[in-house]
Structure 1
Amino acid sequence: MRNSKRASILATAWIGLIAIPSTAALAANSASFVKVDTSTVGNWIGHYGADGYNVSQDTTVKTAAYAQINLSGASNYVWSASPAGTAALQRPENPSGRIASTWYAPNSFFIDVNLTDGNTHQIALYNLDFDWSIRSQTINVRDASTNAILDSRTLAAGAAFHNGEYLVWNVQGHVKYEIIRTGAFNAVISGIFFDAPNGTSSGSLSIPTHHATLANDGQNLKETILTPTNVSSASFGKIVSVPLSGDVYTQPLFQSGVNIPGKGTHDTVFTVTGNGVAYAIDAYSGAVLWTSSLVPPGATAVLDVYSTPVLSALTNAMYVLVHGYSGSVSIYALFALNLADGTPYAAPAVIGKIGGWTTYISGPSIASGRMFNGNLLSRNLVLNPINNVVYASFAAGGDLGPYNGWIVGYNSVKNASGDLSQAAVWCSTPNGNSGGYADGGNGAGGIWMSGGGIAVDALGDMYIATGNGSFEQTLATVPYNGRLTTNVSNLKAPSGMDFGDSVIKLRPDSDVDQSHGDNPNGWGLHVADYFTPADQSYRQGPKDLDVGSSSPVLLPPEVGSTAHPNLLVMSSKEGEIWLIDRNNMGGFSSIADNVVQKVTGQIQGMWSTPAFYSLSNPSPVMYYVADAYGAATGDFAKAFSINNGRMSGTPVSVGTYRFSKPGSTPQISANGASNGLVWALDPGANVLLALNAGSLAMMFFNSGTGANALPRAFPHAFLTPMVAAGHVYVGTKGYLTIYGLH
């Protein structure tokens, strides 16, 4: 069937799936795309059609009780009533038999679907270019009331269309499928299938921040599609590598159900390149939905984008920190973009400028005279949902000094002037002169955490770790005069309030400047508690043994004890694992580390952040992929159980795959307590790996060097994958690659 004149029109009547309308209240018309399925091909029985089905030109039809269907503008055609191969659909009355048939129109036709019960149902359309006409087509899902496009999909000419592919949506209410020929002869559909939503849709899912959650634990427990069984099969692999304008230094983010004007509703992946171009990409097809080029005001070009953006459900915006320059002037700016189209939600906030490497032009400063250095690098961005402030943290690239560690906060909700107003400034070493490693005598204490995120607890307190820098071992009561709250009364802190090589709990406050004179670190944030190891002074100088080479992970009360219900886990370049009470972090003692538990000698140095699987059986588990300090390679993946406020002293599971330096920050995907998978990137081998969460020696997937290989290398060592809705997303040089079932 090459065109309508040559087609044998066997019938013009639609064999409809007609049902009596329900009296239930009708839901709003909606369509959320679920997936492309190219693996089932014509073998639909047992996969689709449990509620209803209509295979074109087959006489057996099952009516979906909730569906009213009408076909308009199409004719019927049978390529073959008894074809060979699996592309043709099974006959429902005789699954061993098949029929290669279609509804078609020379240009376009409609399938009107009215779901009358007010509930969501899954609808799958089977697309088949059986006679290799090199067809291509677009399917728009329109709101039957307004004619607005709710979703749009394009099927390219090629083997997938020839072998048969399903497009699957979750639908409510009354919609019209518009099938439009875009290449070769005729628009075609070979079957329609109705099912209950079976968990393959993302539903309401958001991965809005680095390492998946504000607890910084890296776990997505709503993964209903990927399992050890299907990830280890030939059906899992690379779907598409989307070319981008630059390299990706950040983790992709995910938001379901984004309404893109003129393009319908899409589950969407957001990413940004190192040259400052933000992308919204369809989460399943890889189609680019919008782009936005971001250059800080006053800059002529972009230097880098190292911080993973954050998404806000309150403002429906993405916040992106961009580092630009103009000649010798270095400039940071925080952008806020509407998720729907990439246009500005608010004017960008310029954080700071510096001329050359020394001349201070403008930006944050504190009373001690420390001034924000625009040549610093930022690898951390977090949105605190309690006060709706976006915080960015900074450290020096390669310890090039002089420098300090900084956190700067801006309100995520724009003010009456359309700006993001400044909400906080905090300096880790306001008075320091440590003489430490390459800090230029300025205090250092950078907040870099190997690209790890700032953790935020349910009360809005934030947790960071600092690198080498000043720390006065003479302690004094914090100078807050009882005005600013702390974990413990009369908290003893370093006399100069310099917090190099420390794990710090920061509490937002209502200060708008330093006029109270009692917070030497800044305003809008203050130290509520901290932990500093007993050997802090040993870590300084050329040894360069940062505490802050990893980032804190917050644990739920279920794994704590009566005495210590709220815990965090922290590691360092020396490979210690500290279990710290968030309610009383231990402060500093030169004699011993005042923590709940300290595990040594089990992992190598950490240049990454561990992941935590809270529902792992038989007990919750921490997963580490460490470096091997001083060695040519990295370490093996290791898992430690944790329960009743204690971590196992040795690993409960060890992988057999040795990672490259500097290790990896893993992610967990699971459907609650089942189907746990550990995902990690190996930066040296340039591969994506999937390990069994219950036994790390079992590797289910290695992207390798063949058809599933990543298209290019990672631009730096601190990247991590993102897992959502049955797919895994990986940024590399020049590409975003999507893995999934196919």
Structure 2
Amino acid sequence: MKPFAIMGAAILGAIAISTAFPAVAQKRAVTTYHYDNQRTGWNQQETMLTPANVGPTSFGVIAQVVLDDQVDAQPLLVPNQPITAGLSPGTYQVVYVATEGNTIYAIRASTGTVLLSRKLGTPVPTPLGCPSASGPNVGINSTPVIDVAAHALYVVAYTLISRNPTYQLFALNLNDLTDIIPAVTVAASHLLSDGTTYNFNATYERQRPGLLLSSGIIYAGFGSFCDTFVGQTRGWLLGWQASTLAPLANNKLTDTLDSANIFGQYFLSSIWMSGFGIAAAPTNGNVFFSTGNSGPATYDGVNNIQESVVKMDSQMAKVLGIFTPSDVITLDAGDGDLSAGGVLVVPAQPGPFPSLAVAAGKAGTMYLLNRASLGGFTPGGPDNVLDEQTIGPCWCGLSYFTGPDGVGRVVSSGGVEGTGGVPSNLAEIGVWQIQTSPTVAFVGEGAAVPVASGQDPGTFTTVSSNGTQAGTAIIWATGRPTTNSPAAIYLYAFAAAPSSGTLPLLFSSQAGAWNNTTANANIVPVVANGHVFVASNKQLTIFGLGGGPFVPPAATAAKPAALNAHAPPHQITGVLERADGPVLTLRTRAGKIAQVNDSDAVRSGQIGVLVQGNAYTVEGTTYDSTGALHAQAVGPAKASPAIWPPDR
């Protein structure tokens, strides 16, 4: 291991290796979520990092860069990028990082030096009743997208303008982070089934999926904040011309049912996908995404397309195909979002079904779909799919690569089921061959020993290799925090070729922290040109050959004063034991019973589907004479009490 030195200039905000390391052949740009519009997560141009040289004594941390806020977006990378502003103009390999503080950073990849930064406006405070939002701020929540030829970075920022939550779409110059085109405010409208007009309202919409740039169009998906405001939130897919930022004539609203048709005013059908990017087919530009839950028994496949994989034409004029699991009513009733994972558009395969897609969600079923005919909806089942396999509950993202034998493979990363109501805090990385003859199916090839990963089940992976050359493929994964203190996130590397059915572990290290443990760390490791980039809470960690150990950030000198447990606003987290009308009974982490009256939350719409046995966080200001907390908002909490927010 090599020693570390603190870099002197405060503007760098980084810890860096004091000695030089080998120069990197700057080849691979990472311009979009999961490397490409198909969202494969596969960098097949990695010539430096191999299973032979990634290990605890040869690979480690090169730099740790201090940032202003939590990072939910995946970092992007441009080699040989001119920087024309700031203190150090020149040409560099630049990693671009976007934070929830609405700041875009341009960072030198080899040293961690901050070359440029720009704040795009005041972020919006986290909505009431949404502990699983991004933290104290919601700013840039999704992964931007880069057009290298146009020297442009496109990003959606959530900002306060005249005290109103507002989404703005920016086109920034890669050279200096200035506007190429003036930013536009996100706005849209759509007809409901009764002919009335429904308008986009930024207060109730969360822009989480990674942006897509395809055929000159930028696409963005929207969903809910923690499934609160269920009467005001619906899923949207919007698009703009990249050259002008002019909105497309068409957009997609996933739930167009009018209010008279819905008992309880329950809409949603969110497009969220744990941050996974909207996908596009490589030949025709058709767009793919998945949706979450809506009001039970409201699915019709036309006006409401919840719990579904959806295919649309590039102009969003028409839904071209849909797959909805036959248990859609059960999924809706149990908040079993298919949209907890994204849609992987599989590269062309041999055999009778060359165009495939793969999707998974909270229920833990991984579906193999024919993109030419997604499968529709089969009441009572069986589902019209090519195959399905159980991978564990998936708040996760699938990856793909082709092995030396020419066979395509899918990498799954679902959670390991707990026992006795206790979460396992483990995720299992699995490799599945795509069999194309005599039938099309998944064939399990191997799996890693489960890795530590808490919060909601599952995690995210990417794959690096030198083409399909044998002995070069590595599966990279992150692990979410399992406790509040330390709230550590980890980087793992596995050889992609199993040995006796097991993926060999090559490397593991802490890679950052995630202080807001009520919000999932949907962290995608980015591997390119001999480096691995992991963004977390207020930090970017850069790994490479010759690096040293991770250095945890220094503890804060002064901690904030403790909250007064008896002063409002009050907050309780616990497992829902029963619901008797408006009275909810929760069992807290201490094993005590707490009663909650949810009437106010129901009236304001700040409550989602409640499932007995699941955990919820309740916020309110008053207790009644029976000792019940009157809830202003009720939102989902993680399964493990170790990462629940403090009661107060």
> Does the TM-score normalized on the shorter chain lie above 0.5?
yes
**Match of residue 459 from structure 2:** 664
- Shift of the 406–296 alpha-carbon distance from structure 1 to 2, 3 Å rule, reads farther
Give the conservation status (yes or no) of the 8 Å contact 2:209–2:274. no
Residues in 1 aligned to 2:209 and 2:431: alpha-carbon distance in whole angstroms? 26
1:622 equivalent to 2:410? Answer yes
1:429 pairs with 2:255: yes
Render the CA deviation track for 1:540-591: whole Å, top value 9, x for unaligned.
Answer: 22x1111211111111222x422x1101011122111211111111211213
Residues 659, 166 of structure 1: alpha-carbon distance in 2 compared, 3 angstrom cutoff: closer
Q: Equivalents in 2 of 1:378, 1:607: separation in Å?
A: 17
The aligned counterpart of 2:617 is none
Letter matched to residue 402 of structure 2: S
Look up the match of 1:573: 362
Equivalent of 1:639, from 415, 431, 440?
431
Aligned to 1:710: 512
Q: Displacement of 1:539 after TM fit?
A: 1.4
Unpaired segments ≥5 residues, structure 1: 1-37, 42-133, 139-153, 169-199, 353-362, 476-493, 510-523
Instruction: Indicate how the Cα distance of structure 1 residues 159 and 390 shifts in structure 2: closer, same or farther if over 3 A, else same.
Output: closer
| Equivalent position to 2:279, from 451, 455, 461 | 455
**Distance between the aligned counterparts of 1:693 and 1:434, measured in 2?**
53
The CA deviation at 1:328 is: 5.5
Q: Which residue of 2 aligns with 1:62?
A: none
Match of 1:374 in 2: 202
| Structure 1 counterpart of 2:224, one-letter code | A
Q: What's the counterpart of residue 545 of structure 1?
A: 336
Deviations 1:22-65 (A, max 9, x none): xxxxxxxxxxxxxxxx98x9xxxxxxxxxxxxxxxxxxxxxxxx
Whether 1:212 and 2:35 are equivalent positions in the alignment is yes
C-alpha contact 1:448 1:549 (8 A) present in aligned 2 = yes
2:51 corresponds to which of 220, 225, 228: 228
**Alignment partner of 1:502 is 2:308:** yes
Partner of 1:285: 111
Q: In structure 1, how many angstroms separate the alpha carbons of the residues matched to 2:52 and 2:492?
A: 15
Match for 1:666: what amino acid?
Answer: T
Once residues 157 and 551 of structure 1 are traced to their aligned partners in structure 2, the CA distance between those partners, rounded to angstroms, is 35
1:255-334 superposed matches below 5 A: 255-261=78-84, 263-295=89-121, 303-326=138-161, 329-334=164-169
Contact between 2:31 and 2:78, CA under 8 Å: does it hold in 1?
yes
Could you say if the C-alpha distance between residues 546 and 433 of structure 1 is closer, same or farther in structure 2, counting changes exceeding 3 Å?
farther
Matched, 1:737 2:541: yes
Displacement, 1:688? 0.6
Hey, what does 1:406 align to over in structure 2? 236
How many residue pairs get aligned? The number is: 501
Aligned to 1:92: none
Give yes or no for contact 1:714–1:731 (8 Å, CA) kept in 2.
no
SS in 2 for 1:664: coil
Indicate the SS of the match to 1:538.
Answer: helix
Q: Does 1:336 align with 2:162?
A: no
Distance 1:298 1:236 in 2: 39
Contact 1:389–1:423 (CA under 8 A) maintained in structure 2: no
1:378 CA drift (Å) = 1.1
- Cα 1:566–1:472, aligned 2, differ >3 Å: closer, same or farther? farther
Tell me how far 1:229 sits from its aligned partner.
Answer: 1.3
Are the aligned partners of 1:552 and 1:568 in contact in 2 as well (CA < 8 Å)?
yes
Matching residue's letter, 2:432: F
The one-letter amino acid of 1:578's match is: Y
Is the 8 Å Cα contact of residues 16 and 63 (structure 2) preserved in structure 1? no
Change (3 A) 1:420 1:284: farther
Q: 1:536 to 1:432 in 2, by over 3 A?
A: farther
Number of the residue aligned with 1:598: 387
Q: Partners in 2 of 1:649 and 1:719 — Cα distance?
A: 26
> CA offset at residue 385 of structure 1?
2.5
Q: Is the 8 A contact 1:610 1:625 kept in 2?
A: yes
Shift of 1:714: 7.3
Does 2:493 align with 1:690?
yes
1:712–1:501: structure 2 CA closer, same or farther, 3 Å change rule? closer
Q: Which has the higher contact order (CA 8 A, sep 6+)?
A: 2
Q: Offset of 1:365 from its aligned partner?
A: 4.0
Q: Is 1:701 aligned to 2:536, yes or no?
A: no
The answer for unaligned runs of 5 or more in structure 2 is 126-135, 482-487, 547-648
Cα distance in 1 for partners of 2:407, 2:236 equals 38
Helix, strand or coil at the partner of 1:258: strand
Structure showing greater radius of gyration is 1
Indicate the residue corresponding to 1:725 in structure 2. Answer: 529
Residue 397 of structure 1 aligns to a residue whose secondary structure is: coil
> Are the equivalent residues in 2 in contact too, given 1:640–1:647 (CA < 8 A)?
no
- TM-score between both structures, scaled by the size of structure 1: 0.63
Bigger mean CA offset, 314-323 vs 727-736: 314-323
Structure 1 residue 421: deviation in Å?
4.2
Is residue 2:224 matched to residue 1:396? Answer: yes
Structure 2 length-normalised TM: 0.71
SS of 2:412's equivalent in the other structure is: strand
Q: Distance in 2 between matches of 1:238 and 1:298?
A: 33
Amino acid of the structure 2 residue aligned with 1:389:
I
- Residues 295-341 of structure 1: per-residue CA shift (max 9 Å, x gap): 17999x97322101110134211111111225762111111100011
Structure 1 Cα separation of the partners of residues 214 and 325 of structure 2: 30
Using the alignment, how far apart are the partners of 1:677 and 1:461 within structure 2? 30
Q: Secondary structure at the match of 2:71?
A: coil
1:645-667 residue CA offsets vs partner (Å, 9 max, x unmatched): 65665631121133323221100
RMSD between aligned residues: 3.2
Query: Cα distance 1:303–1:497, how it changes in 2: closer, same or farther (>3 A)?
Result: same
State the Cα distance separating 1:410 from its structure 2 match.
1.3
Residue correspondence of structure 1 range 348-367 to structure 2 within 5 A: 348-352=183-187, 363-366=188-191
Shift of 1:159: 8.5
Which of 502, 517, 529 matches 2:321? 529
8 Å CA contact 2:16, 2:112 repeated in 1: no
Q: Output aligned runs, 1:151-230, within 5 Å.
A: 160=18, 165=20, 168=23, 200-203=24-27, 205-230=28-53
* Pair 1:603–1:326, CA change in 2 (3 A): same
Quickly say closer, same or farther: Cα 1:631–1:319, change in 2 above 3 A. Answer: farther
Mapped to 2, the partners of 1:382 and 1:159 lie a distance apart of 34
Deviation of 1:232 (Å): 1.5
Structure 1 residue aligned with 2:585? none
Alpha carbons 1:316, 1:338 under 8 Å: kept: yes
For the structure 1 residues 647 and 637, does the alpha-carbon distance in structure 2 shift closer, same or farther, using more than 3 Å as the test? Answer: farther
Alpha-carbon contact 1:634-1:659 (below 8 Å) kept: yes
Distance 1:285 1:608, change over 3 A: same
Tell me the distance in 1 between the aligned counterparts of 2:144 and 2:17. 37
Q: Hey, what's the Cα distance between the residues in 1 that align with 2:410 and 2:53?
A: 24
